Amino acid sequence: MDLNAYNRSAWNHAVTNLNEWTVPVDPEIIAKARRGEFSVVLTGKTPAPREWLGDLSRASVLCLASGGGQQGPILAAAGARVTVYDLSDGQLAQDRMVAEREDLDLTTVQGDMADLSAFDDATFHLIVHPVSNCFCPDILPVWREAFRVLKPGGALLTGFINPAAYIFDDKSAEKGELIVRHKLPFSDLTDITEEERQAYIADNEPLVFSHTLETQIGGQLAAGFHITGLYEDHWEGHALSRFMPLYIATRAVKPERS
């Protein structure tokens, strides 16, 4: 199957169904951001540390696989020059709607998070990449491309899912039961039954992939980044989150000199 085409359609469907990550911020949040009162999330609910963002005044920021009218408009209202890059045209439409409503310096570009060929080397001061690489089967190109398009000294802020979440049967976990089922890394293309996959497709659910910590954290290091910060967050609604945090966020910096 054409995975990108399918997941693009699934996220467009999520927009029409008002998934929480597709609902644009309201004018009050934008007004507060203009006054310097703002936060953005990379994971579930815990805001990224403000110091991770640095000085946003006229900074060039790439919101990577981060459409939905949330992080991008907030950062633009805080003073950044924002480009939102996302696979879903429906998600990007949410960002454009807020930008037009609030007269924000924000551009949208449609594309695959693993291919940033639309951008020149050393274009951005900051990349904000909240939980979304679970929809990408191979994340190593994501880190390499992020490193390429960042300016020396620039930072990549990333949220991702602890791979432990994927060990368990998904439907049971939603009901509060933890039933070990899968070995890692997990893929919706190969590790569930055809009947289950077709049910996801019928419901327009995006197909997902787990990634090892070696590729999540080690992959950033291999791309050339220096990791300067890390925190964890809980996934509300997942049974395993009663026992351990299931989100991880990292701040990685491109060195001034290689």
Nearest one of 63, 106, 68 to 88, comparing CA atoms: 68
Helix axes 27-34, 89-102, angle to 10 degrees: 60
The angle formed by the CA atoms of residues 60, 63 and 68, to the nearest 5 degrees, is: 135
Chain-centre distance of CA 124, in angstroms? 17
Q: Please tell me what DSSP assigns to residue 187.
A: B
Domains of the chain, by residue range, sit at 3-163+208-253
List per-residue pLDDT tens for the chain, 258 residues long.
Answer: 899 999 999 999 999 999 999 999 999 999 999 999 999 999 999 999 999 999 999 899 999 999 999 999 999 999 999 999 999 999 999 999 999 999 999 999 999 999 999 999 999 999 999 999 999 999 999 999 999 999 999 999 999 999 999 999 988 988 899 999 999 999 999 999 999 999 999 999 999 999 999 999 999 999 999 999 999 999 988 899 999 999 999 999 999 976
Q: What is the pLDDT of residue 258?
A: 60
User: What integer pLDDT is reported at residue 223 of this predicted model?
Assistant: 98
In angstroms, how far is CA 222 from the centroid of its own chain? 20
Long-range CB pairs of 216-220 (<8 Å, 24+ gap) are: 216/133, 216/139, 216/160, 216/163, 216/248, 217/250, 219/139, 219/140, 219/143, 220/143, 220/156, 220/158, 220/250, 220/252
Q: Which of 234, 45, 63 is nearest to 158 (CA)?
A: 63
Radius of gyration of the chain (CA): 18
Q: Are 202 and 193 contacting, i.e. CB atoms less than 8 angstroms apart?
A: no
CB count within 10 Å of CB 31 equals 12
CA 227 to chain centre: 18
On whether the 3-163+208-253 domain is CATH 3.40.50.150, my answer is yes
Nearest to 201 by CA among 7, 56, 45: 7
Q: Are 168 and 240 in contact (CB under 8 A)?
A: yes
Kindly report whether the global pTM for this prediction surpasses the value 0.95.
Answer: yes
Distance of alpha carbon 138 from alpha carbon 134, whole angstroms: 9
